[in-house]
Structure 1
Amino acid sequence: MKKQTIFLVLLFVQAVLYAQPRFDSTVFKPTKPTTTALVQVVYDAKDKDLEFSDDIQAALYLFEDYAWRQISVPLQKNAAGLWIATVPVKATTAFIAAKFYQGTLDHPDLLDNNQDQGYAVSLSDAKGKAVPGAYLGEAAFQVPTIAGGGIFSYYTNQPKVLPANYLKSLAEHEYALSGKQYLSYFQPFMSLQKLALGDAFPAYAKKLIVDGLKQKDVSDQVLNQLYSFSSSRLQDKELTQLIEKRVNNDFPSGATARFIAYSNTLGSSPDKAAVIASYEDFLRRFPVQQWRQHPNGQGFIYYTVYRGLGTAYFESKQFDKFAKLYDEVDFRTGNELMRWNIMRAYMFKMVGKDSLYQVSEAILPKLIARRGDNSYKEDFDHRAQADSNVVKNLDDRLFTHISLLNDLKKYVEARKYFLLLSEDGKYNNAELNEINLRVLEGLGDDKQLLPLLEMTAKYNAMTPRMFDKLRAIYVKEHAGDESGYQIYLAGLKSNEEKAAMKAYVDHHWVNHPMPDFRLETADGLFITPEDWKDKIVVVDFWATWCRPCIMAFPGMQLLVDKYARDSHVAVYMLGTMQTGDYRSKSVNYVRGEGFRFNLLHDSVNPKTNEQDLVFKQLVPLFGDSSIPRKIIVKDGRVRYCSGGYSGSPSKLMDELSLAIETLKNEK
């Protein structure tokens, strides 16, 4: 009997402990704060991390109207050494949490949140009754996923799981307190109940929703929450249809009806005709012009619908309908439509160039006209970032159209669009600079050649042919004397460009052992580390399937030509991670394209049978397995390492040349 009594007592104590919150409320005064009287935080820093701080602030998290609001307030130290601040409470403030810090909240020097247990308190009204949301706030503070929002930042580590019976008690108290108002805080309340009820939750949630639908005045906003919860979280088809019927009866043109109609479109169907019909029907029921009169957070719907419809039109060759969409879409949507359809079709030769030109020419002026519509504002924190993104994207779309015009020898039109590029867009892309050179040559506009070439040199975005052209003009203007050309060329580059290049190279110095190797050449011979003795050796890891690798070839050819007569420098193109007859693939491609490279083939790894033995041994240095990857080897060690390709042959040559010359000058 005695043992049984002890067991029951322990069980009772455990239940009581489980029913207690883990946070400390003693820092709040009065002990039982109300929304109608002064509420203060009174913080004693003695024996805590902030004890010797002379500047303490409190981050306050206020649960109001069933959502979190976060503010920071400075604390003042009183004569007793206590730090005090007044909490700005409102009639709807139901729960308050606080943490104390020195420095900035994002990166505090010192922090006290009661070791992740928290400092917090619930509030009452003037009659001592808990404010609606108090119990929900208590739960949401200790389980941040319940209501989301800024409360996640309160904790240093993920809070421990709370007992289900404690959460159930809070849910019951909140429901008793707020009654039928639960529809106004539906999502967090459901999150709490799911944690509390476990397997019994779906039946509970369905009954609650059905009861809610019996109310007469249910707003469109609440119906939207009910629909989303029923369709996504409960995945209850019958309940979802019941809500959908109520929506269509009460708010047939509202936001929820719009979302339901969008959800029922057939964007993922392989049947293009069905996709088109579903999107066209949506736009007839919910015209974008109607939405723009009262915009809400559903802009993504029109972005997705127009993108899907436009792509379906384009892929089914309904180009007139595709172009007609540009009478309705904003810049953000039109930009994506052109990127995905026009640029992709041009790159992969999916549509004949004459047809593609007709479509591109029809839509591009409309896209340009909308560049100031601020349609990217939701994607960026600052207007300047959004504007910069518009400029970059418009430059990219102009690039595609200018390339198409050049291919069709429509040089007058190409030149017109070139002048619409931004300053960076005009000169910062070596491939586009090469196209503009061809356009000027096609127009016979020799006067513009030198200004173009000098600007591309300033931006360090030149191709081998552009170097040849600039040299030829210089020699002609200097009566055949080439002696000052290199000084002239160096003077064209801006100091900013030179400083940026030096900073880039300085960032990529390494000192890593070069693995032992025996690599086959294009002629079937083999080289070993002994062949690289007393040399500075550039190695470019590449593959025939790697487009950026191939794009970098002109820059590597510039480097090869620059050091062709330097016996202390060698440049090798090392093919790696290829399949099949990789030897023939590499040699035939390089020689077929007219490049003059020293080719090497990576060895086959005997353990994996993959052609990557040397490359994979260097992956710990690289940090990943991406190519192209350039290394420079000196005295058996990798001294320089960089990856990727900027798009500029001249910039690549300058980068590796600077690294080579720096290594040459080492003592």
Structure 2
Amino acid sequence: MLLLCSVFSAFAQSVYPTNFTFLPERPENGSPVQLIYDAKGTPLAGKKNISAVVYQYKNYKWVGTDLAFTGAGDIWKANFKTPADCGLIALKFKSGDIVDNGHDQGYFLQLRDKERKGLMAPGGYAGWGLARSPKLNLDIPGYINFKGISDTASYYWLSQEIVFNPKAKGELVIPYSIALKGFMKEEATPKLMLAVRYLTRADATEDELLKARTITGMLLNDTKRKDSIETVLKTRFPKGSLARLAAHRNINASRELPAVLKASEQFLADFPITTNAQFDDDNRISYGVVYQNMILVATAVNKNDDYLKKYAPVLPYSVVGNMYYKSIEIPYSRKDRTPAELMPLADLLIKRYNDFKTNRPPEYMYMSPTEWAYEFDHSRAGHVFPVQIALLMAAGRNDEAMQFALLAQKYLQYNNATVNDQYAHLLQKKGDNKSLQAVLTKSLYLNQSTPEMLAMLKSSYVRTQGSEKGFDAYIESLKNPADRIAAQKKAASEMMDKPMPDWSMKDMNDKTVTSAQLRGKTVIMDFWATWCVPCKASFPGMKIAVEKYKNDKDVVFYFVDTEERTEDYKAEVKKYIKDNHYPFNVLFDNKAEGAKATGEVFDRIAKAFKISGIPQKLFVDKKGNLRFISIGYNGSATGLADDISMLVELTKSAN
């Protein structure tokens, strides 16, 4: 007991940092309290506007809300009515993007019980302990970041909660048992057995029996007792959580798609909604994944969108984004389906998304409304919005597209070339030349532009200057020089000097090209494939780079088509290059003996330099030595072109 009292004393002293005070000194649940924040010495010192996110521990769950503060100088105050079912609040003060969370110690206020004088309100002890016990996974996500209090302290606060609020036993028994086991190790067994006996009493609920099953299996390693509890569960609750778990596992018992679809349908018919979300989380039962996989399987088997149309209105938030990616973004990027075909499906998923805008999903209730609003749109800005804007523009719904573009820019701040391009085209169609010019110059400053945007800038430049003379210098003057200097410094530090393997491949005219023939030249090899979306997405930027060096006889670009499996891949490559007007020298990788796909050259190079996957861009100097490897594509054509140009120049000067 002396040890536990010492723990209480040590932690109680840090509950109220000096920057945060309140009146009355002993606030109660369900009563008003004045919160006082002194910003002096904090990251918010001297700020003009300060607000707070208030995390309330209500009914043993975190619920976030926003609170405005008023003040003069560094002293800020707000009145807050504490909820009647709340035992503790935590505050995060902020001004814009700057946050004060008490140096990762948090600002906490434990509430007294209005009905039971002298005692903490229900949740006061548990909230204070769990907020500082991240390993129990019941803290406030993203609030404070530290290792956490000891198992001893976690156990103390949870046991205090259970002693003074016995109704919390069922709710907190699992984190209590985990903390107890961490604190007392094997000596915890008698107390854990007491918990199991309570949870398996004659009138125990299904949830209590499931928790007893967890404790016996996870903490006591008592397989026999766990099996006995499962027998009781199956007898008393034949359509309960264990039956739901068995049905869920049955979905993937077969690898035949029709069987998977049938099992999924049966699962939802028998168990249309979850009855125990925590059990589902612990056992990896995801209704969202069931819906998602059923839609994808049904689309593949039935060759129609009926299941997507049927289940889109009920999809959980956790899978709407992935559903949009797989059902809309991928077929759009690969041009597997037309925008007209995808538009109604995209509208369905956007409508489902918007259902959550003012209705936070349970897993996000800890966020305040402003935090949720940011998370809701920011998470979609660079992923969902660009595709939705493109589809809306293709459908002629430009006003809706503009709304998405404006929202995307709010979060992306012109750091996404695709959205910048879409926004520019929408402004051009609207005839808003002033705003268009601002978008074009701002995008170029951040090097997040497309060839089409450069063409718009060129057209504007010619109109005002009367000719193209000086345009290239004008373009360079618009870019941020600091970014280029930093990129050059980083690239120079990463330069290598390793001999390249010799190779021989044929071009689109069936002419043989060898590495030996290219000695004395700077060679850029871009490895790609017809099926590789990011490979082809980088081609507009690569086109800018190729055209920049078209008159430099000492620099040659080769686009090496590799990892192809189809019989007619060469014809497909030739058509793709011709249809898109790419001035590229294409080489076809060889097929090694016995191989199912091309890749003989790339495989040898990948092995030599320990690389894998495409796109891969290699920069080879005049002596045939590899100097740089550039992987992937960041989404900006002008940014890529500048990066390629910089690496070309560094490679040329390496000798």
TM-score category of the 2 structures, normalised to the smaller one: 0.5 to 0.7
Instruction: Provide the TM-score with structure 2 as the length reference.
Output: 0.59
Corresponding residue for 1:244?
A: 233
Read off the aligned partner of 1:597 and give its amino acid letter: F
Instruction: Report the counterpart of residue 459 of structure 1 in structure 2.
Output: 446
Would you say the 8 A contact 1:230–1:239 is kept in 2?
A: no
1:262 and 1:282 in contact (8 A); partners too: no
| Distance apart, 1:511 and its partner CA | 1.0
8 Å Cα contact 2:506-2:587 kept in structure 1: yes
Deviation string, structure 1 residues 631-658 (Cα, Å, up to 9, x no partner): 1111211111111121222121111101
Contact preservation (8 Å) 2:522, 2:619: yes
**Is the CA contact (8 Å cut-off) linking 1:512 and 1:621 kept in structure 2?**
no
Which residue is equivalent to 1:663? 651
> Following TM superposition, by how much is the alpha carbon of 1:321 offset from its aligned partner in structure 2, in angstroms?
5.1
- Provide the rounded CA distance (Å) in 2 between the counterparts of 1:218 and 1:600: 71
Contact 2:538 2:635 in 1 (8 A): yes
Matched, 1:476 2:486: no
Q: Closer, same or farther in 2 for the Cα pair 1:373/1:567, shift >3 Å? A: farther
C-alpha change, 1:358 and 1:240, in structure 2 (3 Å) is same
Which of 586, 594, 613 is the equivalent residue of 2:573? 586
Q: Does 1:308 align with 2:295?
A: no
- Aligned partner of 2:519 in structure 1 is 533
- Map of 2:193 onto structure 1: 183
Q: For the residues of structure 2 that align with 1:405 and 1:220, how far apart are their CA atoms? A: 49
Cα shift at 1:625 = 2.2
CA contact (8 A) 1:411 1:443 kept: no
Report the equivalent of 2:535. 549
Cα–Cα, structure 1 residues 628 and 150, in superposed 2: closer, same or farther, change >3 Å?
Answer: farther
Q: Counterparts of 1:269-288 in structure 2 under 5 Å?
A: 270=259, 272=261, 275-276=264-265, 278-279=267-268, 282-283=271-272, 286=275
Q: Which amino acid aligns with 1:375?
A: Y
Change (3 A) 1:34 1:629: same
Matches for 1:90-489 after TM superposition, within 5 Å: 181-183=191-193, 215-216=201-202, 223-227=209-213, 239=228, 242-245=231-234, 248=237, 257=240, 261=244, 264-265=247-248, 268=252, 270=259, 272=261, 275-276=264-265, 278-279=267-268, 282-283=271-272, 286=275, 304-309=286-291, 312=294, 317=306, 322-325=311-314, 329=316, 331-344=317-330, 346-347=332-333, 348-349=336-337, 352-369=341-358, 375=364, 391-423=378-410, 425=412, 427-480=414-467, 482-489=468-475
> Residue in 2 aligned with 1:124?
none
Partner of 1:572: 558
CA distance in 2, matches of 1:594, 1:306: 43
Closer/same/farther in 2, CA of residues 228 and 337 from structure 1, 3 Å limit: farther
3-state SS, counterpart of residue 577 of structure 1:
coil
Rg comparison, structure with higher value: 1
How far apart, in 1, do the equivalents of 2:454 and 2:572 lie?
Answer: 30
In 2, the alpha carbon distance for the partners of 1:615 and 1:511 equals 19
Hey, what's the Cα distance between the residues in 2 that align with 1:489 and 1:540?
26
Question: What is the letter of the counterpart of residue 640 of structure 1?
Answer: F
Quote the residue 1:99 is aligned against: none
- Structure 1 residue matching 2:626: 3-state secondary structure: strand
2:614 aligned counterpart, secondary structure:
coil
Alignment: residue pair count = 464
What is the identity, as a one-letter code, of the residue corresponding to 1:428?
N
Q: Which has the higher contact order (CA 8 A, sep 6+)?
A: 2
For 1:600, give the aligned amino acid.
L
Structure 1's 636 and 353: CA in aligned 2 closer, same or farther, altered over 3 A?
A: closer
- Identify if the C-alpha distance between structure 1 residues 555 and 605 changes in structure 2 by more than 3 Å, giving closer, same or farther: same
Distance 2:201 2:493 in 1: 66
- SS of corresponding position for 2:384: helix
Instruction: Indicate conservation of the 8 Å contact 1:412/1:443, yes or no.
Output: no
* Residues 156-202 of structure 1: CA deviation (Å, up to 9, x unaligned): xxxxxxxxxxxxxx98xx6xx966x553577xxxxxxxxxxxxxxxx
Q: 1:430·1:649 contact (CA, 8 Å) conserved in 2?
A: yes
Cα distance per residue 1:72-97 (max 9 Å; x no partner): xxxxxxxxxxxxxxxxxxxxxxxxxx
Match of 2:634 among 638, 646, 655: 646
RMSD across aligned C-alpha pairs, in angstroms?
4.7
Report SS of the residue matched to 2:630.
Answer: strand
Q: Which region of structure 1 is more displaced relative to structure 2, 527-536 or 460-469?
A: 527-536
SS at match of 1:396: coil
Indicate conservation of the 8 Å contact 1:334/1:367, yes or no: no
Q: SS state of the match for residue 435, structure 1?
A: helix
Distance 1:364 1:238 in 2: 42
Q: Tell me how far apart the structure 2 counterparts of residues 479 and 519 of structure 1 sit (CA, whole Å).
A: 47
Secondary structure of the 1:420 match is helix
1:540 CA displacement: 0.8
The question of whether the paired residues in 2 share the 8 Å contact of 1:332 and 1:376 is answered with: no
Residues of 2 paired with 1:377 and 1:587: CA distance? Answer: 54
Q: Is the 8 A contact 1:556 1:649 kept in 2?
A: yes
Is 1:518 matched up with 2:504? yes
Show CA shifts across 1:131-167 (max 9, x none). Answer: xxxxxxxxxxxxxxxx999999xxxxxxxxxxxxxxx
Distance in 2 between residues matched to 1:38 and 1:230, nearest whole Å: 31
Q: 1:421 to 1:263 in 2, by over 3 A?
A: farther
Amino acid at match of 2:421: E
1:356 maps to a residue whose letter is L
Structure 2 CA distance for aligned equivalents of residues 487 and 450 of structure 1: 17
User: Shift of the alpha carbon at 1:399?
Assistant: 2.1
**Structure 2 CA distance for partners of 1:376 and 1:661, relative to 1, 3 Å:** farther
> How has the CA–CA distance of structure 1 residues 322 and 222 changed in structure 2, closer, same or farther, with 3 Å as cutoff?
closer
Match of 1:562 among 522, 545, 548: 548
User: Is contact 1:303–1:333 with CA below 8 Å preserved after alignment?
Assistant: no
The answer to whether the Cα contact below 8 Å between 2:381 and 2:411 also exists between their aligned partners in 1 is: no
What is aligned with 2:600? 613
1:15 match: none
Secondary structure of the residue aligned to 1:352 is helix
- Where does structure 2 lack aligned partners over 5 or more consecutive residues? 8-145, 148-176, 253-257, 299-304
* 2:500–2:624 CA contact under 8 A, matched in 1: yes
Distance 1:622 1:438, change over 3 A: farther
CA distance in 2, matches of 1:339, 1:485: 39
| Distance change >3 Å, CA 267–CA 654, structure 1 → 2 | same
Question: CA offset at residue 599 of structure 1?
Answer: 1.6
CA deviations 1:17-45 (Å, max 9, x no partner) are: xxxxxxxxxxxxxxxx9979999xxxxxx
Distance in 1 (CA, whole Å) between partners of 2:309 and 2:530 is 38
Task: Call closer, same or farther: CA 1:497–1:389 in 2, change over 3 Å.
Answer: farther
Q: Distance in 2 between matches of 1:521 and 1:535?
A: 18
Partner Cα distance (1:300, 1:574) in 2: 47
